[in-house]
């Protein structure tokens, strides 16, 4: 099987916005008297805004305390805070090796797509100066199910006009790897060996992303 497309997650793969999400959720947590640490924040990677809020409320024992309207207002408060923080993002915040990897993909004639759960994805891509690399950006608002459901990666392949088997997906979150795998796509993980156990191939850091190795591993799977 020849590789024709690469579908990227954004947060944690192209740039590290996890810290900004953490700070914005923590600020909200202080207001509603729920505290959590970085380890808990790992559970929010790749998870949509409202699902993240639900996990935080459950963690704080406040699952049934707020109405839908109140939860929407809390999620908006967090996002307003987050939007301020991501205004600081510049091309200097592209994770190490990512620009070269994207250039290698482009030179190899691969089609590139973005499959981020973030509704702020296009704004972040713009601040990073990476918008032009991506032929398609899946709109998370158009989806019924978030990661780990395969919908977002299936949609990415469909928009690129490719079969999932002709694509690889690149992710830093366990929920994201599960999404890629169940889409029938070859998964490339960025992270620790423990968190990337389910990935078909993994690297610990973005600087280690190597297109030739990925092409070979994808072809070897058949």
Tell me which residues touch Mg ion (CB under 5 A): 9, 11-12, 46, 172-173
Structure tokens given for 184: 């029938």
Closest distance between ligand B16 and the C-beta of residue 34, in Å?
16
- Residue 117 interaction partner, one of ligand B16, Mg ion, none, beta carbon < 5-8 Å per kind: ligand B16
Q: In whole angstroms, what is the distance from residue 161 CA to residue 87 CA?
A: 33
* Binding partner selected for residue 41 from ligand B16, Mg ion, none, CB under the kind-specific 5 to 8 Å limit: none
Closer to ligand B16 by Cβ: residue 5 or 191: 191
| Catalytic residue list contains 80 | no
Q: State residue 218 phi and psi, 5-degree precision.
A: -65, -45
CA angle 116, 107, 222 (to 5 degrees): 70
The token pair that represents 144 in the structure block: 């019924």
**Backbone CA torsion sign across 195, 197, 201, 204:** positive
Residues interacting with ligand B16, by CB under 6 A? 9-12, 21, 44-49, 52, 79, 116-120, 173
C-alpha to C-alpha distance for 113 and 117, rounded to whole angstroms: 13
Binds 120, which of ligand B16, Mg ion, none (CB < 5 to 8 A, cut-off by type)?
ligand B16
CB-based contact 13:176 (threshold 8 Å)? no
Nearer to ligand B16 (CB atom), residue 192 or residue 220: 192
Which CB, 116 or 187, lies closer to ligand B16? 116
200 given a catalytic annotation: no
Q: Catalytic positions, please?
A: 9, 11
């Amino acid at each position: 099987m020849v590789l024709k497309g690469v579908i990227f997650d954004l947060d944690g793969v192209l740039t590290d916005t996890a810290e900004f999400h953490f700070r914005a959720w923590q600020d909200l947590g202080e207001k509603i008297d729920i505290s959590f640490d970085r380890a808990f924040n790992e559970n929010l990677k790749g998870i949509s805004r409202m699902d993240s809020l639900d996990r935080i409320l459950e963690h704080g024992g406040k699952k049934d305390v707020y109405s839908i309207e109140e939860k929407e207002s809390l999620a908006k408060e967090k996002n307003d805070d987050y939007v301020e923080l991501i205004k600081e993002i510049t091309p200097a915040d592209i994770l190490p090796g990512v620009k070269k990897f994207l250039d290698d993909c482009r030179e190899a004639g691969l089609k590139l797509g973005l499959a981020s759960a973030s509704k702020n994805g296009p704004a972040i891509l713009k601040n990073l100066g990476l918008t032009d690399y991506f032929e398609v950006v899946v709109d998370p608002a158009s989806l019924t199910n978030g990661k780990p459901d395969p919908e977002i990666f299936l949609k990415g392949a469909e928009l690129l006009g490719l079969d999932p088997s002709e694509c690889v997906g690149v992710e830093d979150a366990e929920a994201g790897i599960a999404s890629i795998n169940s889409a029938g796509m070859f998964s490339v993980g960025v992270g620790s060996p423990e968190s990337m156990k389910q990935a078909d191939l993994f690297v610990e850091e973005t600087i280690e992303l190597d297109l030739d190795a990925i092409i070979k591993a994808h072809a070897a799977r058949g």
